[in-house]
Amino acid sequence: MVKTIQVRELISKNIKSTKNKYVDKLMPYIFFVAASISIITTIGIVYTLIFDGLKFFREVPLREIFSTRLAPLASNPSFGILPIINGTIITSIIAMCVAIPIGLSTAIYLSEYASDKVRKKIKPLVEVLAGIPTIVYGFFAYSFVTPLLMTIIPDLGAKNALSPGIVMGIMITPLVASLSEDAMNSVPNEMREGALALGSTKLEVTFKVVIPAAISGIIASFVLGISRAVGETMIVVIGSGSSKNFTFDITQSMQTMTAYIVEFTSGDAGSGTLGYYSLYAVGLLLFVFTLLMNLLAQYISRKYREEY
Amino acid sequence: MSIESIDSREPHFPKMYMSKGNFNRRILLDKIARKLFLSATLLALLVLGVLIFRISSQSIGWLNIKFLTSNLSIFPEKAGIYGVILGSLWLMLIVAPITLIIGVSTAIYLEEYASKGKVREFIRINISNLAGVPSVIFGLLGLTVFGRLFNLGSSILAGGLTMSLLVLPIVVVASQEAIRAVPNFLRDASYAMGATKWVTMRTVILPVALPGILTGSILALSRAIGETAPLVVLGIPTLILKIPTGIMDDFTALPIQIYYWTLDTVLVPEYINLAAATIIVLLVVLFLMNTTAILIRNKFQRRY
């Protein structure tokens, strides 16, 4: 009885109130404005990078850009981009050499071998690794991993590509592990049971049934991992230093593209100089590369996903 | 079929279809692989343990009340992070309301108002790609737009706005999921009572989705509080002795201070201990925030 009265009251109140009608018509527009902020952000990023980046590409000849001499602050400045692209690729390769085996093993263990009880304990701990700020990893690489590696490799520099590469791999491990595990979990149990019933061991089920079925998600997790490694900043800034030499020696300091941006903005590069515009050119390359990687990951996981 | 006939067949079966040696080897391989996968998992956790243990031990003797309550100084014995903590708090004061309002509004638009067409798909793809843009690029955007174009320099406002754009996708995605999880019968009941769309949104959907939204927002804030690169690119000065009092003041935040102290350990070895102590403060803050998020999720999340 009481409830009926409330409903009637509410209805009559709503019919009478004209204020609600105006608000109701207005709200979609307000929400649309909010939603468009994310688009404006993208446009802003693309516009600033292209606008200032193009000034760089217009001034500097292509032959200089694709050279190995990077000396933006020298009296005879040169803007060869290959040293920092090289640094980025090498640190990323080291990181993926750590992240792929450990991440995939963790995913296999959690999804195929671990009991529910064990999984519930281990999974949150692995995710803690993903929540640690990258500056902390950078500190760890510089103050612990580098001195530790020095006992094995005496020639290792205080700043080197190896130690931040390894630590970056540890940072990316949870990403690879959790995305791969999701992919493997979505493989239906009937397929596992079928293979087990034919006499396969769990290892054979994993490598001959589960991984082939989940391969699109697993590869996508690797691609996203690479994208993260390429865009990672603080670990390589602290651990790998700012040497602009074109070298393949991982025991020496190398600068990555992200570290170049950080070094240059915290320096005294005045607005309008060529060095200042080089920042945006590097940013543009970085943006395009990570965007392509992210799109590739989405494409792989959508296109090659097997539906069960 | 009699029992004898099965018994008589059994000895032949394994001989015919598999060799025993091969079988044992396969079982052994499986056992070895299991141990390998487990040890790889534990290796990652071991690194986590070593990291926390090592940094804690470096901070012992340096992390005390005086360190938390006194101001920055170039002398390691006198240095404290009171102003740095305030800087991080000010930053959150900007980031929290901006991301909450814009993030939730975007999610409401995408889930409730946008027609399921190209616009919606475009915004969705745009947000997921924005989440993958390296944070240093957001720093460049902040430097160009907020720092130089709006002339905000490296103030708390410029840092806060940059950071808000960076973590916005996290809030949007979390809010979208929370709103999507609100069952349709609640909407229908509200409409049946004569409520308009906005009234339904305000009085039914948002209250039910609030725990999920809050959880996502806290996680976004914990990302913002630990993020360094955008602030470094904005050009936060190295040594700020003044304690920030408003959003237009220059500031320094916990991760930035860790970065500068780590860089300068070559000059003053004790800075490594100061950096370690600051990291512990940062990790404790992050731990508390994440615990709060999990508590909110577990306590208030209703399943229909």
End-to-end CA, chain B? 53
Helices A82-108 and A257-266: crossing angle in degrees, nearest 10, is: 120
- B162 CB neighbours in chain A (<8 A) are none
Give the pLDDT score at A71: 81
ipTM of the complex: 0.88
* Neighboring chain B residues of A145 at a CB cutoff of 8 Å: none
User: Based on the number of CB atoms within 10 Å of its own CB, is A307 exposed (0-12), middle (13-18) or buried (19 or more)?
Assistant: exposed
Q: Does A24 touch chain B (CB under 8 A)?
A: yes
Domain residue spans of chain A: 2-59, 70-303
- C-alpha triplet A186, A97, B132: angle, nearest 5°: 60
pLDDT of residue A13: 66
Residue numbers in A near B168 (CB within 8 A)? 37-38, 41
Q: Is A286 within 8 Å of chain B by CB?
A: yes
Q: Is B289 on the interface with A (CB under 8 A)?
A: no
Question: Residue A173: pLDDT band by 50, 70, 90 thresholds?
Answer: very high
Length of chain B: 304
Rg of chain A in Å (alpha carbons):
26
Mean pLDDT of chain A: 88
Residues 82-141 (A) with a CB less than 8 A from some CB of B: 101-102, 105-106, 108-110, 113, 122, 125-126, 128-129, 131-140
Residues in chain B with CB shorter than 8 Å from the CB of A108 are 37
Q: What CATH architecture is A70-303? A: Orthogonal Bundle (1.10)
Query: Residue A127's closest CA among B48, B298, B80?
Result: B48
Residue A3 has pLDDT above 70, yes or no: no
What token pair was written down for B287? Answer: 């731990």
Residue A229 has pLDDT above 90, yes or no: yes
DSSP annotation of A113:
I
Q: Given this model, what pLDDT does residue B276 score?
A: 95
pLDDT above 90 covers what percent of chain A?
61
Q: By the 8 A CB rule, do A257 and A286 touch?
A: yes
Say yes or no: B36 contacts chain A, CB-CB below 8 A.
Answer: yes
Cβ atoms of residues A286 and A231 within 8 Å = yes
Average pLDDT by stretches of 10, chain B with 304 residues:
46 48 86 95 94 94 87 82 92 95 94 83 90 93 90 90 96 94 91 87 91 92 94 80 81 91 88 94 94 86 66
Q: CB A136 to CB B144 under 8 A?
A: no
Q: What is the pLDDT of residues A82-112, one digit of tens each?
A: 999 999 999 999 999 999 999 999 999 999 9
The letter for the amino acid at B51 is L
Residue A215: Cβ within 10 Å count: 16
Give the pLDDT score at B21: 64
Tens-digit pLDDT profile for residues A18-37: 666 777 788 888 898 999 99
C-alpha B164: how far from chain center: 13
Please state, in angstroms and rounded to a whole number, the distance separating the CA atoms of residues B303 and B100: 24
CB contact under 8 A, B54 and A133: no
- CA A111 to chain centroid, in Å, comes to 23
Residue A176, pLDDT > 70, answer yes
Cβ atoms of residues A202 and A135 within 8 Å: no
Q: A43-58, pLDDT tens digit by residue? A: 999 999 999 899 888 8
Q: What is the pLDDT of residues A101-144, one digit of tens each?
A: 999 999 999 999 999 999 999 998 998 899 999 999 999 999 99
Residue A75 has pLDDT above 90, yes or no: no
**Helix intervals (H) in chain A:** 2-16, 19-59, 62-65, 82-108, 116-131, 134-140, 146-152, 162-185, 189-197, 202-205, 211-231, 234-240, 257-266, 274-303
Do the Cβ atoms of A155 and A251 come closer than 8 Å? Answer: yes
- Conformation bin of residue A135: beta by default, left when phi > 0, alpha when psi is -120 to 50: alpha
The token pair that represents B163 in the structure block: 């950071």
Q: What does the block give as tokens for A226?
A: 């690479």
Kindly determine whether residue A41 and residue B198, on different chains, have CB atoms separated by under 8 Å.
no
